[in-house]
Amino acid sequence: MSRTRVWMDEVSTLFLLAMSSLDDDELSAPTALPGWTRRHVLAHVGWNARALQRLVGWARTGVPAAMYASAEQRVADIEEAAGWEGQRLRELVAAGMADLAADLDGLDDDQWQARLVVQGRTVRAAELPWLRTREVGVHAVDLGAGVTFEDLAEDLCAALLDDVAGRRSSLREDPALLLRDEAGRSWTVEGHGVPMTVTGSVHRLASWLTGRGGEGIRAESGPPPALTPWL
């Protein structure tokens, strides 16, 4: 099993434990994500599994399939499921996790190399476990039910920094940055202005670069700069 599949199982367990700690009333509480309650986070994670299953089907059969019918339909599905009774919403999440894992594990070596289109970008099927890990791991933190970036594997957070730094660099909407962790690893974000060095643990840097709080990080001069939204 690839490392990303291991991460996918680990963050799925974290998410399910966080979800099970919340009663129905607590599911209705807002999150730090604009306009989203915890119910919206659960709905998104549940439907994301089904969307990725469609891509697994493409890899298995060779028949192209979109993750979502449209951006509007994706939003509508999340809004609808956010209004479901708590048990039905929890079942959407749990069943989606189990079914996606089973479908991924059913791919053979050739199917893992299939080329798929994900939101306008061509990727190999082997990247799907990472896409799921990223979604579930970060949104487990967004639930605000005790999971933090420190609960995510160190190498997962390093991979997340690779991913987010690359995306922010491609967009060039943020200040230029040089990130350094306590183990001596570094990440560069290409952007505007003279690069600012920001240091901290790999977990805290991942939290900050994904827009989930900057506690425990340090900038070379003044507070860390504000960043544009990410996931």
6-40 pLDDT, tens digit each: 999 999 999 999 999 999 999 999 999 999 999 99
Same domain assignment for residues 194 and 122: no
Q: What is the pLDDT of residues 163-211, one digit of tens each?
A: 999 999 999 999 999 999 999 999 999 999 999 999 999 999 999 999 9
Q: How far apart are the first and last CA of the chain?
A: 27
| Residue partners of 112: CB distance under 8 A and separation at least 6 | 59, 124, 125, 126
Average pLDDT over residues 101-119: 96
Task: Classify residue 228: in a domain, yes or no.
Answer: no
Same domain assignment for residues 195 and 122: no
Same domain assignment for residues 133 and 181: no
Q: Which amino acid is at 80?
A: E
Same domain assignment for residues 77 and 108: yes
Of 95, 81, 97, 68, whose CA–CA distance to 41 is shortest? Answer: 81
Model pLDDT, residue 201: 97
As a whole number of Å, the CA-based R_g of the chain is 18
For residue 120, pLDDT over 90 is answered with no
Same domain assignment for residues 15 and 123: yes
Q: In the listed set 147, 173, 198, which residue is the last one of a domain according to the structure?
A: 147
Task: Classify residue 230: in a domain, yes or no.
Answer: no
Q: In the listed set 94, 118, 147, which residue is the last one of a domain according to the structure?
A: 147
CATH number for the domain that contains residue 33: 1.20.120.450
Sheet containing strand 186-189, strands side by side: 186-189, 175-181, 192-200, 218-219
For residue 64, pLDDT over 70 is answered with yes
160 by DSSP, 3-state: which? Answer: helix
Same domain assignment for residues 16 and 62: yes
CATH number for the domain that contains residue 161: 3.30.1050.20
Task: Tell me the pLDDT of the chain averaged across its residues.
Answer: 96
Same domain assignment for residues 35 and 113: yes
The residue among 223 and 196 whose pLDDT is bigger is 196
Task: Classify residue 225: in a domain, yes or no.
Answer: no
Alpha carbons 70 and 83: distance in angstroms, whole number: 21
For residue 222, pLDDT over 90 is answered with no
Task: Classify residue 227: in a domain, yes or no.
Answer: no
Same domain assignment for residues 132 and 160: no
Q: In the listed set 147, 167, 185, which residue is the last one of a domain according to the structure?
A: 147
Give me the residue label for tokens 């099993």. Answer: 1
Same domain assignment for residues 45 and 128: yes
Task: Classify residue 110: in a domain, yes or no.
Answer: yes
Q: What percent of the chain has pLDDT over 70?
A: 100
Task: Classify residue 160: in a domain, yes or no.
Answer: yes
pTM over 0.85: yes
Task: Classify residue 196: in a domain, yes or no.
Answer: yes
The range of the structural domain enclosing residue 212 comes to 154-219
For residue 49, pLDDT over 80 is answered with yes
Neighbours of 110 (CB within 10 A): 9
- Compute CA distances 55 → 60, 67, 174, whole Å: 9, 6, 31
Alpha carbons 217 and 223: distance in angstroms, whole number: 9
Q: What is the pLDDT of residues 67-76, one digit of tens each?
A: 999 999 999 9
Model pLDDT, residue 182: 93
Task: Classify residue 229: in a domain, yes or no.
Answer: no
CB 136 within 8 A of CB 45: yes
Same domain assignment for residues 180 and 88: no
Same domain assignment for residues 122 and 89: yes
Q: Domain total for the chain?
A: 2
Model pLDDT, residue 119: 85
Same domain assignment for residues 165 and 140: no
Model pLDDT, residue 1: 57
